[in-house]
Amino acid sequence: MAQKAKFKIAPHMRLHEWVAEEKGYFEDEGLDYEFIKELVAPDGTVHDLGDKVGAYQTFEKGRESDVCSACHWTVNAAASAGHGKLYAKAYSVANCGIFIAADSAVKKPEDLANVPVSVGYQSGSHYSTIQALEQFMPAADIKLSFTDGLLFHRLGKLVDGEIPAVSLFSGAYYVAEQLGYRKVCDTSFMMAGMVQPGSDMRDVEKFYRALRRAQADIDLRPELYVKYYLNELPERFHASIDVRSFGPGERIVFEPYSRDIYERSQQWISEREIFPEGALVQSGYHDAVFQ
């Protein structure tokens, strides 16, 4: 009989998986697991996937981890298209914002009209920038740039003075904040978990029970665990930041990602034509969620 494969976990710039490992929560649940690196380019640059290749495209291609996290819009759409199952017993909220240089002429969100904001294509920064800025300007004035890569690559371009505005979340958000860049608009957004085809339901539940315990630890004493941001932040930033002043970042909410949320989110995506016409498959909630 073939030995069962280890449950693959890919941390994604949040603290929970690192805390659960430190505390032995995965072992307590009897989860036979291993940590893997995912979305890593050949040169070691994390989250640099190129022009118009974002979170949705990585689900189309297939990810290695048994459960992975991404913005809820993309997980919703990818699960609806059959690229995995949306874990519907919890969701999370990630801190995110649009950052600009301290001396930028942009002073308020309205000043971003027709200013390119660097985001990840069909990723959380893409959707959340639209969601936040449409309060301040017509849709035609919201300008997004998809040419600057994903999270850490965009952060590097901001620091190098190559882009005027960028959407950053979690650890990258705290780096920009600490280095003196100004947040001109908050764009915090909901994230969801995607369960890969073939993942064992029992292992998935063990994984989330461990994360739930980790969330309580982070809520109680976040300062004990912010050190783990260094595990995923590019080394170029290590000498210029002090993670002890970082916040807790993404927070997992153990409430249902309901049918209502699922359907309203699909409608929102469709109305804003984020996917080409006819490209977004819309399966029913029951078929898309992990049971």
Domain ranges of the chain: 7-94+197-288, 96-189
Q: Tell me the fold of 96-189.
A: D-Maltodextrin-Binding Protein; domain 2 (3.40.190)
DSSP classification of residue 180: T
35: number of Cβ within 10 Å: 16
pLDDT of 24 > 80? The answer is yes
pLDDT of 242 > 80? The answer is yes
pLDDT of 280 > 80? The answer is no
pLDDT of residue 176: 98
pLDDT of residue 2: 59
Read off φ and ψ for residue 130, nearest 5 degrees.
-60, -50
pLDDT > 90 in the chain, percent: 81
pLDDT of residue 58: 79
In 3D space, the residue among 275, 179, 178, 152 whose CA is nearest the CA of residue 167 turns out to be 152
Which pLDDT band holds residue 39 (cuts at 50, 70, 90)?
Answer: low
Token pair in block for residue 19: 């805390």
pLDDT of 253 > 80? The answer is yes
Classified as helix, coil or strand, 213 is helix
Find how far residue 42's CA is from the centre of its chain: 21
pLDDT > 70 in the chain, percent: 91
Which pLDDT band holds residue 47 (cuts at 50, 70, 90)?
Answer: very low
127-156 average pLDDT score: 95
pLDDT of residue 252: 98
C-beta contacts of 231-240 below 8 A and 24+ residues apart: 231/11, 231/18, 232/11, 232/13, 232/46, 232/171, 233/152, 233/171, 233/172, 233/175, 234/45, 234/46, 234/152, 234/156, 236/156, 237/155, 237/175, 240/179
pLDDT of residue 277: 72
For residue range 152-201, what is the model confidence (pLDDT) as tens digits?
999 999 999 999 999 999 999 999 999 999 999 999 999 999 999 889 99
Better-predicted residue by pLDDT, 282 or 86: 86
Token pair in block for residue 146: 């998809």
48-76 average pLDDT score: 79
90-114 average pLDDT score: 98
Q: Does the predicted model carry a pTM greater than 0.95? A: no
Classified as helix, coil or strand, 192 is strand
Token match 């494969």: residue?
5
pLDDT of residue 52: 59
pLDDT of residue 271: 93
How is domain 7-94+197-288 classified at the architecture level of CATH? 3-Layer(aba) Sandwich (3.40)
205-211 average pLDDT score: 98
pLDDT of residue 145: 96
Question: 64-78, 106-120, 267-281: which range is least confident on average?
Answer: 267-281
pLDDT of 104 > 80? The answer is yes
Which pLDDT band holds residue 272 (cuts at 50, 70, 90)?
Answer: very high
pLDDT of 42 > 80? The answer is no
Per-chain mean pLDDT for the chain: 91
